[in-house]
Structure 1
């Protein structure tokens, strides 16, 4: 018959989610630009600027991923579709790796070549954006008010959070293998422990930020630190939420 399906791919129905996601992201970007530079509808410094777009994006993702779950339950995710989803996740993780490469590259470039930047022969001292280079004779670079940046003890909270991350990797792997073997009880326990560890990591990260003796906008070290750790912390929060959804689905 002409209407018979002759392929293993699942053709999705027309969906509003891509358009709505684009609008939500656009609103979030405009709100962020207003927060930093000021726009006619978002005054500069308004922390709530990106919030409406962010909330809208959350609701869009809930609806979008909800449709994916419904398709999976309906048996639409054949083997070919599953392979496509796995490849998509691999490419997504590769793009995330490059994000972190950029943050670490920025940090180590400043840490290794700080004395070179402080050399007047290699610096345009007339550039007002580089007026604080007189402080670059040491690392971490002093803050804009001249105070010294006091870094964290790597064997205190950073070490604890690292151990929590490593442990969460073992518990989620345990849950994965238990799910493959049909051991639902062990999968639930593994996911529950992983969610608890993720929440613990986030709580300790907040405490670490509160104890920080430097600001995001006071030094290049502070900017690099909060950007890299904040970006990673956002991934932990999102991952914890997604694993919690998996846990509730497994329990239900």
Structure 2
């Protein structure tokens, strides 16, 4: 007897397992870099990750666009999954902000009861941090422009706004790297350094991953 389901029964795919192994190797190569200052294994694993992600996205595009496996039920599940993901990210960054404001409002005796701690030379908030904030807000405007251009079937405006978003995301990542290279403290310089690099690092990682996703959308729009 043959049964039909409104859900997509996922076929066998090697990409989840390969990506998991690649992430493990990437973390090991990062630890290796900490002690030996060699970046070659990180570069190899990052390139391998990009190849795996492109292959995985290719299969998902085939299943959704050309094979019709993403039904309305599947679409609702993907939408619910994205909502749950955003809620988990809100809770994750809320814990980081909670830690920061706890130490800011009530610094411990080990820090001299001052914030930021002694010998910590902080960044000028009106330099790269302000510029990156403006870039992020501008990218939000440009991607919203792209969204409404897509709804109104304005292909040229859609491509232009998506290109602007990609450029802004790349500039943000480059400025983040420059900010890290110019830093006078590191992640193990008191809890201030730990909170700073944890929060900005994960935020920069989200921007980088989002840039990759937007680039895939850009390629699909370019090929209609």
Q: What interval of TM-score do these two structures reach, taking the shorter chain for normalisation?
A: 0.7 to 0.9
Residue 80 of structure 1 aligns to a residue whose secondary structure is helix
Matches of residues 39-188 of structure 1 in structure 2 within 5 Å?
44-45=35-36, 48=39, 51=42, 53-74=45-66, 75-114=68-107, 117-118=108-109, 133=110, 135-142=111-118, 148-188=119-159
Q: What is the TM-score normalised by the length of structure 2? A: 0.87
Residue 98 of structure 1 aligns to a residue whose secondary structure is helix
Correspondence for 1:17? 15
Deviation for aligned residue 1:204: 2.0
Residues 180 and 67 of structure 1: CA distance in aligned 2, closer, same or farther (over 3 Å): same
Q: 1: distance between equivalents of 2:206 and 2:135? A: 15
Deviation for aligned residue 1:211: 2.7
Deviation for aligned residue 1:228: 0.8
Correspondence for 1:26? 24
Do the aligned partners of 2:32 and 2:38 also contact (CA within 8 Å) in 1? no
Deviation for aligned residue 1:98: 2.1
Runs of at least 5 residues in structure 1 that lack an aligned partner in the other structure:
37-43, 119-132, 143-147
Q: 1: distance between equivalents of 2:181 and 2:33? A: 22
Of 183, 187, 210 in structure 2, the residue corresponding to residue 216 of structure 1 is 187
Deviation for aligned residue 1:54: 4.6
Deviation for aligned residue 1:225: 0.9
Runs of at least 5 residues in structure 2 that lack an aligned partner in the other structure:
none
State the superposition RMSD in angstroms: 2.3
Deviation for aligned residue 1:69: 0.8
Q: 1: distance between equivalents of 2:116 and 2:203? A: 21
Q: What is the TM-score normalised by the length of structure 1? A: 0.78
Q: 2: distance between equivalents of 1:50 and 1:28? A: 8
Considering only CA atoms, is the larger Rg found in Structure 1 or Structure 2? 1
* TM-superposition CA deviations, 1:179-203 (whole Å, max 9, x none): 1222222211111111111112122
How many corresponding residue pairs? 221
Q: 2: distance between equivalents of 1:105 and 1:230? A: 17
Do the aligned partners of 1:9 and 1:81 also contact (CA within 8 Å) in 2? yes
* TM-superposition CA deviations, 1:129-150 (whole Å, max 9, x none): xxxx2x43311112xxxxx212
